[in-house]
Amino acid sequence: MSLRAEIARLAPGDRLPSARELVRRHGVSPVTVTRAFALLAAEGAVVTRPGSGTFVAQPRAQPGTMPADTSWQAVALGDRSVDTARVSHLLGPPPPGAITMSGGYLHRSLQPTRALAAALARASRRPDAWDRAPAQGLAPLRAVFARLASAGPEDVLITGGGQGALSMAFRAIAPPGSPVLVESPTYPGALSAARAAGLRSIPVPMDADGIRPDLLAETFAMTGARLLYCQPTFHNPTGAVLSLERRRQVVAVARASGAFVLEDDFARLLGHGGPTPRPLVADDHDGTVVYLTSLTKAASPSLRIGALLARGPVMARLRAMRLVDDFFVARPLQEAAIELVSTPTWDRHLRTLSTALRERCSTLAAALAEHVPQWRVAGVPAGGLHLWAETDRAGNVGEMSRRCGVTVEPGQDFFAAEAPGQFVRLGFAAVPDLADLVEGARRLGSALEHRPRTSTSGMDDGLQGQ
């Protein structure tokens, strides 16, 4: 009580008597004084500084009266940051009344919601549904992914969706500070994941047939990179499919460079009805290709089930990453995925989805040609969820689209370095029906016709100062 009274008379920062002085003054043991200081420190009344003494602490702020001072954390965390600017908008809700042509997931009307509910219900009734899952994943689910890549189940590692697999692979394969080669343009989530892993993304140009093997070989030689990230099938955002000859060349170039190819096959189940080429990993027998895919895109955003496929020491490292990251993917979700893909309903869903995506893709392409002819669509893809167009509007596509009630994605986020032009990605899978796609194109065309005249400074008059 005497110490509390003394603290009350002092100001924050004042020094309290030493332990030796308190022992002499109160006739108590040093242990008693030590315990008293420890109790007061736990209450936040004092601060002990070894070698200096014990001081009256600053008063704690009452909730809601003063923000905590966390500025010290900037020093402790250092200069590495996690860049979410490229991906955070992909998960945010669209403005009220907006037509959604952004994002990378299916509208609810395209999802197999009844089949998902039934699969989850069946999975929950299994007696072992809540048991611990193997770190590598349940064997029947590994077999499902193995069939997609013409591989064996022993080469498959189940992950928490494609993005989780991507992040894990970057951290497992390439050391921090090293370069990773990427197509230009590429998926923004890959650029963010690479940066979070401490990697430097180096762009390699592509054309209508995919990444250019000649420039890929030069870039490997110039940078010493040991990893290429690519999307050979229904590339995001362009929709391009890497030609058969280039598929062989890309793997050969990587193998000659002593490098891995991280093949992101996110759209394997999103074809529009035509033939889908074999993944690179299916014809790779030397462990050059590390393959990733998921069920998420073709089912539901919340079915966070993906897979990595690899051979050799790199798979051992990926399994180790799984253990230290989170042990395993939740068993009920794996069981539900098995239930979903093991029924004829899943095959019917994929056929229905293929038809719907093909119809939506052609509808949007035709609507853009009619209402926004100044946007040059790179080509109508044979799979995936997007169209990629070159525009003449420097930097203001996002702002213009928001003003007319349509959400699109400006192309600059898809480039690891300077973009060679002005681009926009338009999705056709997130709207309720075809009429929304036509109306969205009409709104965009109308907004372009009535856009403010460009001033001599190069900025749109109506956007200056914003």
Local confidence band at 456 (pLDDT 50, 70, 90 cut-offs): very low
Q: Which CATH class is domain 88-108+346-463?
A: alpha beta
On the question of a cis peptide bond just before residue 185, with omega within 30 degrees of 0, the verdict is yes
What lies within 8 Å, CB to CB, of 246 at 6+ separation is 209, 210, 211, 213
Domain ranges in the chain with CATH number 1.10.10.10: 2-56
- Residue 58 backbone zone (phi > 0: left; psi -120 to 50: alpha; other: beta): beta
pLDDT of residue 25: 85
What residues are paired with 387 via a beta bridge? 426
Q: Which CATH class is domain 112-344?
A: alpha beta
**Placement of tokens 């009256």 in the chain:** 56
Local confidence band at 67 (pLDDT 50, 70, 90 cut-offs): low
Domain ranges in the chain with CATH number 3.40.640.10: 112-344
Domain ranges in the chain with CATH number 3.90.1150.10: 88-108+346-463
Percent of the residues in the chain that have a pLDDT greater than 70, as a whole number: 89
Local confidence band at 466 (pLDDT 50, 70, 90 cut-offs): very low
Residue 188 burial (10 A CB sphere; 0-12, 13-18, 19+): buried
Average pLDDT over every residue of 281-304: 93
Q: Over the chain, what is the mean pLDDT?
A: 87
The matching CATH number, chosen from 3.30.1540.20, 1.10.10.10, 1.10.3720.10, 2.60.120.10, for 2-56 is: 1.10.10.10
Closest among 167, 174, 173, 172 to 196, alpha carbons compared: 167
